[in-house]
Chain A
Amino acid sequence: MSLIQSDKPFPVIETERLVLREPRTDDLEAILALHQDPDVMRYMGMSPYKTLEQAQQELNWFAGLFNLDRGLRWMITLRGEDTYVGDIGFHNVNQAHRRAEIGYKLGAAYWRKGLMSEAIRPVLAYGFGELGYNRVEAVVDPPNQGSRGVLEKAGFKLEGLLREYEIVDGEACDLCMLSLLKREWQEIV
């Protein structure tokens, strides 16, 4: 069942290998499985999930972003399979300053195939286009090479290291701040 409760239709995105669609109640088990994987969660600023309730909270957060007009999170599925294998989207939206943060995850079995790079391009197009953002930013754990690679390939620039910016399990973590501006993105595409 779709969790979308809004007058606006959810903007489904199709790419060569992927369909990015709305969050649904039947994604719950797949969300839990992905968020239980320590490899996926290593740099996410959260411990691996232990309970279905945590997955339900994440799913509610995904749906709420769209329903409450606070952002947007797409469920990443492989074309023809329809199963949740990851998610991507915008949160921490600041309308007044026309900026948003981008975040994403992908099941470890699907890494190193260029799938996130395939997903991020139309998502950025939607953010800079339909959603009117001027700046999309991302904060990344410095050793998270996979994620930094995705961002750099998409044209993001490193702005600096935010020291002890997050506290995860009682430990202060530095985060890299990267951003892509609309005018830079327009030059790339």
Chain B
Amino acid sequence: MTNFEWNDLTYQDFPVLETERMILRAPRVADGPVLLPIYSDPEVMAYTGRSPLERMEEMEQWLSMLARGYCEDKGIRWHMVFKENGELIGDLGFHHYEPAYFLCELGYRLSKHYWRQGLMSEALRAVLAHGFSRMDFNRIQALVDVRNQRSAGFLLRNGFTLEGVLRDYEYNHGVFEDLIMFSMLKREWETPPQPASRPEEGQPV
């Protein structure tokens, strides 16, 4: 398949978002070589149903696919860069839009060097706000390999609800994989459920 032709102007109406530590901006042609080490890291790519990328050509195909998705209103992916120095550290966004049902799927990847610093949670909050308030989604879902505890924990910490395990849902590299379905609804994002308060001692539960 020939790549979709795009350049930085393809994204001129892109909704740039700002968080405490990051700018979430449109993909750029020049991002390819910076993103490739992240997308070729077996630990980052584990359980995503995709093999680590090996060649720049594959990276270009990915970026071209994102540009096409954005132009056809089928997806959006923000590139996460540090405010401080502009370093590109990961990306996240929405795909598999179902406009009739106001739903979409969430995806994300972060350079291993920046794990465990709350960066993806910080980016996620901004992207969810945009998805629910500006893009008018009612349900944002995420599918996670059952073995990917890191990703499942990330979603639960960020207010997603585990709905069930879809058995043999994907066939990747010759193996059927079980995926966990998570979702967050607009009303939950608007009014996050309060953590259950502990019953006082001696009170009937």
> Residues of A with Cβ closer than 8 Å to B?
96-99, 134-135, 137, 157-167, 172, 177, 179, 181
Total number of B residues with any Cβ neighbor in A under 8 Å: 21
The reply to whether A181 and B139 form a contact with Cβ atoms under 8 Å apart is no
The reply to whether A99 and B101 form a contact with Cβ atoms under 8 Å apart is no
Closest Cβ of chain B: how far from A69's Cβ, in Å? 19
The reply to whether B183 and A162 form a contact with Cβ atoms under 8 Å apart is yes
Closest Cβ of chain A: how far from B161's Cβ, in Å? 7
Which chain A positions have C-beta within 8 A of B167?
A: 135, 157, 159, 179, 181
Nearest B residue to A184, CB-CB:
B167
B177-198 with Cβ < 8 A to chain A: 181, 183, 185
Which of B100, B141, B167 counts the most chain A CB atoms within 10 A?
Answer: B167
Closest Cβ of chain A: how far from B164's Cβ, in Å? 2
The reply to whether B163 and A163 form a contact with Cβ atoms under 8 Å apart is yes
> 19 pairs across A/B with beta carbons < 8 Å?
A96-B171, A98-B171, A134-B171, A135-B169, A135-B176, A137-B166, A159-B164, A160-B165, A160-B166, A160-B181, A161-B163, A162-B141, A162-B163, A162-B181, A163-B163, A164-B103, A165-B139, A167-B102, A177-B164
Q: Given A134-B176, A172-B138, A177-B164: A163 and B185 within 8 A (CB)?
A: yes
Closest Cβ of chain B: how far from A156's Cβ, in Å? 11
Q: Given A97-B170, A99-B169, A160-B181: A167 and B164 within 8 A (CB)?
A: no
B84 at interface by CB-CB < 8 Å: no
Q: Choose from A161, A177, A181 the contact partner of B168 (Cβ within 8 Å).
A: A181
- Bound form: Cα–Cα A6–B19 in Å: 55
Which chain B positions have C-beta within 8 A of A177?
A: 163-164, 166, 181
Closest Cβ of chain B: how far from A150's Cβ, in Å? 20
- Bound form: Cα–Cα A181–B101 in Å: 27
Closest Cβ of chain B: how far from A138's Cβ, in Å? 12
The reply to whether B100 and A167 form a contact with Cβ atoms under 8 Å apart is yes
- Bound form: Cα–Cα A158–B164 in Å: 9
The reply to whether A160 and B163 form a contact with Cβ atoms under 8 Å apart is yes
Which chain B positions have C-beta within 8 A of A161?
A: 163-164
Q: Choose from A97, A159, A167 the contact partner of B171 (Cβ within 8 Å).
A: A97
The reply to whether A164 and B185 form a contact with Cβ atoms under 8 Å apart is yes
10 cross-chain pairs, A with B, having the tightest CB-CB distances, nearest first: A160-B164, A159-B164, A160-B163, A97-B171, A135-B168, A97-B170, A164-B139, A167-B101, A166-B101, A181-B168
Closest Cβ of chain B: how far from A52's Cβ, in Å? 23
Nearest A residue to B180, CB-CB:
A160
Q: Choose from A97, A163, A166, A172 the contact partner of B169 (Cβ within 8 Å).
A: A97
Which chain B positions have C-beta within 8 A of A99?
A: 168-169
The reply to whether A179 and B166 form a contact with Cβ atoms under 8 Å apart is yes
- Bound form: Cα–Cα A166–B167 in Å: 21
- Bound form: Cα–Cα A135–B100 in Å: 25
Closest Cβ of chain B: how far from A153's Cβ, in Å? 19
- Bound form: Cα–Cα A177–B166 in Å: 8
The reply to whether B161 and A165 form a contact with Cβ atoms under 8 Å apart is no
Closest Cβ of chain A: how far from B184's Cβ, in Å? 9
The reply to whether A165 and B101 form a contact with Cβ atoms under 8 Å apart is yes
- Bound form: Cα–Cα A155–B154 in Å: 34
The reply to whether A163 and B183 form a contact with Cβ atoms under 8 Å apart is yes
Which chain A positions have C-beta within 8 A of B161?
A: 163
Which chain B positions have C-beta within 8 A of A160?
A: 163-166, 181
Nearest A residue to B178, CB-CB:
A159
- Please give 15 more A-B residue pairs, beta carbons under 8 A apart, in addition to A162-B164, A179-B167: A98-B171, A135-B167, A158-B164, A159-B181, A160-B164, A161-B164, A163-B161, A164-B139, A165-B101, A165-B103, A166-B101, A167-B101, A167-B102, A172-B139, A179-B168
